[in-house]
Structure 1
């Protein structure tokens, strides 16, 4: 699939629109962007983004920014619309595959568990498959959520309360699993290096490009030795080596004094971004707020990235990082007013930190560089860091935004 032909200067475009550029009649959220920024998937309550949307439910869509076509992907292989909600999309690198969760029971045959499941839509072939199943294709006996799809679409990580996706799942807690769509196997990854199951819940997976590494958050205290902080931590499972390591630690290996969550892993699994309210992951963390950090697994270093270009810590909290393929760029949203100059809108904004250059830029801006008149958050950054998708209820990011709803936007190409 060819890369989009876009202007050299950063521009902001709304993508939660119909193929005829009509704006959505209801709210749109939670974008996930393909490697080159061409495709953006998102969820929306709107019934006017595609024809014949009559289910009255939250659906998942994909916007092709090159062709200007918007398609609904939360449909069955026969094209039937879902009979319940669909949400939390995750898109493959080339934009072909979209994983999502759905409460619908008509997206695939024999869906009789009455639970939220994880599905993958191949919008090239038009096939929809359920992936929250056991290696023997048995359906889950409880709900599954929060998919993260690998670059090639082969592996899908997700969380589930189901006890029958793998053998000997007796902890009664949320666990993280990976489905290999090629081999038809399902494995639990929220386990210790000794294969012991977690003594508490694990969630919010982020999978590396080849599916080898899975980052996730967990309140378990037995995934690694000496986990005594009693807090939510971030871990990485190496599926090839069978090891589990804690990421939410300082460069000196000290454990965090408060919770860490929402990991985002780089393509090769070397870097893991996460949010944390801990004050002891780095020196001089005195803002008493949530910050965004990056752990370099190779060097054993933890750095804060929710800072200004001058290195000043944010005066408000920063959340929900999204890291580029090489780990150089980290997008996040923040209510801080001091990360960039002239931030006077008093709203949460989306920022990108260039870790190589030590520069922080605000990206929730109009094409002319004006700041948003309302909140912007939940960014998703492209593999090369040049495009950032985000949701916002601002009315001034693009012309003729009169729907008064949350919309999904893309900013780029970034310098």
Structure 2
């Protein structure tokens, strides 16, 4: 089934269907053996603690730089990229590799042996890890099953593939940009369970962007980079709705919440959170939205002003803010667990937890309770 994108800014269609309510899942909050952890009671509205997670299973700190993390909705598993040689079961050469940290068991393992072209992502149930790698004349998506160690390979048939996973990992969305002189970008939604795929052609798009898939694979947010429009595709009828930001704005997609209720996008110096149920948007001024939690309630953002916190978590219902990091820090999408109970980020700061002496970028989790 193929759907063509509308690139006329004067045409706006609102979503007609909403997903069901999200399930709030508690994040793991207990300290793990061998993990350096710091506590604070005055960081935000809730008491919080911070732990370093880019460590080996025995607690040894990483000998390389770790970035690009994705956390499961329950906060139990984190997948990330690292140049470390000492985080897997056996030593390896210093090169960018995918790693999985299980916060319940304290185990850190290396996933596969290839360098990811884009940040890895983990399915909502924690069962699958996906990432694209270079392969011959095109990119190949690796889908790794955590329990068995088996890997599925899917050929993108093009370069510049960026991907998003559904809840069970077997729903996959990826974008690919064709070689010149073909200017188009194509987004494919693949469901391995039903052996069906759906494609969306983004016409005359010279700026590929990562799509964002809801947990059940029913909704997909994506961007027409050339037109700077954000659309939401409804699988039930195979049509895109949008541009959701209206005809007068240029927008950059950040993320669709796992439950499909919110779409975060940037426009100008502000962040906007579009409610797919009501068709309205809330503006969070003068900040850069980074990620949204699976329920669509908690927004992670970076303030534009210098001298304040690097990362802040906002409760969109109460309007309250909680500081994630006062030190220089960065995060990607899928950085917030359900209910805003855990936020994963990376930082080169050496005073976030005791004993940080490796002098490189580490991954940390701020837990709220």
Cα separation, partners in 2 of 1:85 and 1:323, compared to 1, 3 Å:
closer
Q: Provide the rounded CA distance (Å) in 2 between the counterparts of 1:48 and 1:386.
A: 29
Aligned counterpart in structure 2 of residue 124 of structure 1, from 136, 147, 164: 147
Q: Provide the rounded CA distance (Å) in 1 between the counterparts of 2:290 and 2:29.
A: 27
How far apart are 1:177 and its partner, in Å?
Answer: 1.6
Matched, 1:11 2:49: yes
> Which residue of structure 1 lines up, in the alignment, with residue 283 of structure 2?
304
Cα separation, partners in 2 of 1:291 and 1:376, compared to 1, 3 Å:
same
Cα separation, partners in 2 of 1:179 and 1:162, compared to 1, 3 Å:
farther
Q: Is the 8 A contact 2:233 2:241 kept in 1?
A: yes
Matched, 1:100 2:54: no
Higher relative contact order (CA 8 A, sep 6+): 2
How far apart are 1:270 and its partner, in Å?
Answer: 2.3
> Which residue of structure 1 lines up, in the alignment, with residue 225 of structure 2?
219
Q: Is the 8 A contact 1:9 1:413 kept in 2?
A: yes
Cα separation, partners in 2 of 1:159 and 1:127, compared to 1, 3 Å:
same
> Which residue of structure 2 lines up, in the alignment, with residue 283 of structure 1?
none
How far apart are 1:122 and its partner, in Å?
Answer: 0.5
> Which residue of structure 2 lines up, in the alignment, with residue 295 of structure 1?
274
> Which residue of structure 2 lines up, in the alignment, with residue 91 of structure 1?
122
Cα separation, partners in 2 of 1:3 and 1:219, compared to 1, 3 Å:
closer
Q: Provide the rounded CA distance (Å) in 2 between the counterparts of 1:123 and 1:144.
A: 25
Matched, 1:361 2:322: yes
Cα separation, partners in 2 of 1:5 and 1:268, compared to 1, 3 Å:
closer
Q: Provide the rounded CA distance (Å) in 1 between the counterparts of 2:110 and 2:273.
A: 34
Number of aligned residues: 328
Q: Provide the rounded CA distance (Å) in 1 between the counterparts of 2:290 and 2:242.
A: 18
How far apart are 1:42 and its partner, in Å?
Answer: 0.6
How far apart are 1:248 and its partner, in Å?
Answer: 4.5
Instruction: Map Cα deviations across residues 58-94 of structure 1 (whole Å, 9 max, x no partner).
Output: 1111100111000111x1xxxxx23x44541111112
Q: Provide the rounded CA distance (Å) in 2 between the counterparts of 1:42 and 1:36.
A: 17
User: Map of 1:132-151 to 2, 5 A cutoff?
Assistant: 132-133=155-156, 140=157, 142-151=158-167
How far apart are 1:9 and its partner, in Å?
Answer: 3.5
Please report the RMSD computed on the Cα atoms of aligned residues, expressed in angstroms. Answer: 2.5
Is the partner of 2:359 in helix, strand or coil? coil
> Which residue of structure 1 lines up, in the alignment, with residue 303 of structure 2?
334
Q: Provide the rounded CA distance (Å) in 1 between the counterparts of 2:304 and 2:310.
A: 6
Is the partner of 1:327 in helix, strand or coil? coil
> Which residue of structure 1 lines up, in the alignment, with residue 365 of structure 2?
410
TM superposition score normalised by structure 2: 0.81
Instruction: Map Cα deviations across residues 341-374 of structure 1 (whole Å, 9 max, x no partner).
Output: xxx45xx61111111101122111xxxxxx32x3
> Which residue of structure 2 lines up, in the alignment, with residue 376 of structure 1?
330
> Which residue of structure 2 lines up, in the alignment, with residue 368 of structure 1?
none
Q: Is the 8 A contact 1:204 1:216 kept in 2?
A: yes
User: Map of 1:127-276 to 2, 5 A cutoff?
Assistant: 127-133=150-156, 140=157, 142-162=158-178, 171-189=182-200, 191=201, 197-201=202-206, 202-220=208-226, 231-249=227-245, 253-256=246-249, 259-276=250-267
Q: Is the 8 A contact 2:161 2:177 kept in 1?
A: no
How far apart are 1:171 and its partner, in Å?
Answer: 4.9
Q: Is the 8 A contact 2:314 2:321 kept in 1?
A: yes
